[in-house]
Amino acid sequence: PHGYDVIDYRINSEWGGEDGYRRLIARARAKGLGIIQDIVPNHMAIHEGNYRLMDVLKKGRASRYYRFFDFYEEEDKIRIPILEDKLENLIAQGLIRLEKDVDGEYYIKYRDWRFPLNTVGKDLVETLNMQHYILAHWRDPPSYRRFLAVNELIAINEEYEEVFEEAHREILKYDVDGYRVDHVDGLFNPIDYVRKLKRVSGGRIVLVEKILAFGEKLFEGPDGTTGYDFLNYSNLLFTSNEEKMTSIYESFIQRRFDLDQELRSCKEKVLRDLFPYEVERYSRLLGIKAEDLRDYLICLNIYRTYGDVKVECDRSGAIARAYKSNPHTYHKLEQFLPAVYVKAYEDMLLFRYNRLISLNEVGSDLHYYSLSYDDFHEFNAKRVGTLSLNATSTHDTKFSEDVRMKISAISEYPDEWREKVYEWHDILNPKVDRNDEYRFYQVLIGSYFREGFSEEYRRRIEQHMIKSLREASIYTSWLNPNIEYERRMLDLVEEAFTNRSFINSFSKFEAKIRRVGMEKSLSLVALKIMSPGVPDIYQGTETWRYLLTDPDNRRPVKFEELADLLKRSRSFDKEMISNMDDGRIKIYITHRLLRLRRDLNINSLAYKPMRTPDGVCGFWRGDRVLVLVKTRGIGRVVVRVEGRFIDYLTGEYVVNDVEIDSLPRILIREK
């Protein structure tokens, strides 16, 4: 379970309950660890265990919890679109029926759902018609605000004082250091919410899950974000040969890719297929034309506004006039804005534009292929002392850091990559679109590791590729699956996993890419830990972890194996470099740099960029710690440094000149 389908605000008994959580907090405190509690103030799950919602479904507007949820007030009944077929068909099949609980109370049973009844009629149909709610087909619109386009997640009105208190009473009882606020952009007024949470928690740390566009500033109040800005700024340091990689991609797919037009097309499709009801409703409530609202939503290239109107997107002026005359409804519209951008950009465009898919991440801007060191330093320098996370992998990233770095390594070998994709095309003779085929080769290169072409790995690739196709929504989609086209993709996967000519060719190229990808990953670890901010190490990524889009990135972590690996990796030896596959080198660097960060209180030290040759990113923390990492290029690079240093990772002494090859250099100037 992912835990974001909240039914109550108590600690789940399956995870140890309240007593278990208090013991965890106490043990963490004893070891000098703090705890940031993840909280979900935007939505809850439609589930029989959600007693507040069940009370509303039973009593309607008379329920004390009616204002808790963000229902559409103009609707007479609560429409819950979860049915897989027409109501009458499901009744005929016996999938929707009346049942009694142990207390003799009747309820509606459908699959794993149980719905309460306010009264019982003479038969099932009459009983259903007498309720305060309607069970509708999943394609129908709900009569409540939902999380993105997920009908089973109903939004709440945390802006009401009584709802805020109800939703946070239990959370505030625990002696934690702060909170991670999930989907802060879904809230009515994120600025007020953070201010209130700070006040009632006694000033505890508040980190918000906020996706910032490049150059966008975080609103006032939070102590930082969950780190997608760092992820994307650092990610752009590791790519090379933009012109060649663009040319190879467009030549292979046999067309030019207009990124802006494609994003516009994605937004149009999302508004047409997923949110036509919301567009009609908000335009009606705001008193504007639906066309004006659609144009505004399509034009916006940020996740949401905060009590303002982007005039450059309001060509007719209708949005500004509506905001002035009806600010409350405009703020409700702002809660809807993230759904449009997430579904169009994150869940569609990122699976359509496949030039180099290591760049296709949450919070990215695909107009950027790479980033200058000056721009990275400017970004870092503004974050000195911040508590913002430095994320590189999360439960929402499209690929884990090791997959991304390995795919980025392809850009170091553009000519060989061109030869390989055409060679593989001839060997496999795919029956899918070349754009989907091009993505498949990158996915395979990025995620392939020690398990080889195993059955488990094949299932993972199959699931990922089908998800990719449906998210892209060109030949198939979640709304209208095209099983025949999906079968062609599965045939391609099967052929790749069994064709000896392909496997031999692929394996030779992958072995070369793997080493370069690992070196890039180690550089990224050093940047994450030594840059301003708080390093966020996603579960299991202390060592190599080649994960795809969720649910693959939530695979169980083998903690006992990690602990054993750490025991064998506490001191440096050269075999860590010659045999990187065993994972010791990554966990060693992670452990070693976290210790340095703690011992020198790195986050409090000044940040000063260092001029470096192309391919090497360098900066000082304070006046003694010099960080040098290779981000682009192949082979050794020599950098001039003035003075005498010791390499904190290898123990090597360095005087004036330092050679950078497989490992990042963390140099401590001798006093």
Confidence class for position 36, pLDDT limits 50, 70, 90: very high
Residue 9 lies in a domain: no
Cα(503)–Cα(492) distance, rounded to whole angstroms?
13
Domain limit, last residue, from 337, 352, 367 = 352
271's CB contacts (< 8 A; 6+ apart) are: 279, 294, 297, 298, 340
Query: What local confidence, expressed as pLDDT, does residue 479 receive?
Result: 95
Domain limit, last residue, from 317, 352, 387 = 352
8 A C-beta contact, residue 624 and residue 638: no
Domain limit, last residue, from 323, 352, 381 = 352
pLDDT, mean of residues 345-367: 97
Residue 165 lies in a domain: no
Comparing CA positions, the residue from 191, 146, 200, 207 lying closest to residue 171 is 200
pLDDT, mean of residues 40-46: 97
**Predicted confidence (pLDDT) per residue in 454-512, tens digit:** 999 999 999 999 999 999 999 999 999 999 999 999 999 999 999 999 999 999 999 99
Residue 648 lies in a domain: yes
277: CATH:
1.10.150.200
Phi and psi at 295, nearest 5°, equal: -60, -40
Cα(441)–Cα(457) distance, rounded to whole angstroms?
14
Number of separate domains in the chain:
2
8 A C-beta contact, residue 132 and residue 59: yes
Query: What local confidence, expressed as pLDDT, does residue 1 receive?
Result: 54
Residue 149 lies in a domain: no
Residue 1 lies in a domain: no
User: Can you give the residue range of the structural domain that contains 348?
Assistant: 258-352
Confidence class for position 301, pLDDT limits 50, 70, 90: very high
pLDDT, mean of residues 568-578: 96
Cα(599)–Cα(557) distance, rounded to whole angstroms?
28
C-alpha 635: how far from chain center: 33
Confidence class for position 372, pLDDT limits 50, 70, 90: very high
654: CATH:
2.60.40.1180
Query: What local confidence, expressed as pLDDT, does residue 392 receive?
Result: 98
Confidence class for position 350, pLDDT limits 50, 70, 90: very high
**DSSP category for residue 212:** P
Exposure of 115 by Cβ count < 10 A (0-12 exposed, 13-18 middle, 19+ buried)?
buried
Mean pLDDT score of the chain, rounded to an integer?
A: 96
**Predicted confidence (pLDDT) per residue in 90-120, tens digit:** 999 999 999 999 999 999 999 999 999 999 9
Cα(5)–Cα(44) distance, rounded to whole angstroms?
6
Residue 275 lies in a domain: yes
Query: What local confidence, expressed as pLDDT, does residue 31 receive?
Result: 94
Query: What local confidence, expressed as pLDDT, does residue 241 receive?
Result: 97
| 32: region left, alpha or beta (phi > 0 left; psi from -120 to 50 alpha) | left
Confidence class for position 13, pLDDT limits 50, 70, 90: confident
Residue 325 lies in a domain: yes
8 A C-beta contact, residue 127 and residue 96: no
Residue 610 lies in a domain: yes
Cα(196)–Cα(191) distance, rounded to whole angstroms?
9
pLDDT, mean of residues 140-160: 97
**DSSP category for residue 347:** T
Residue 509 CB-half CA count within 13 A: 27
> How far apart, in Å, are the Cα atoms of 229 and each of 31, 98, 139, 480?
30, 51, 35, 34
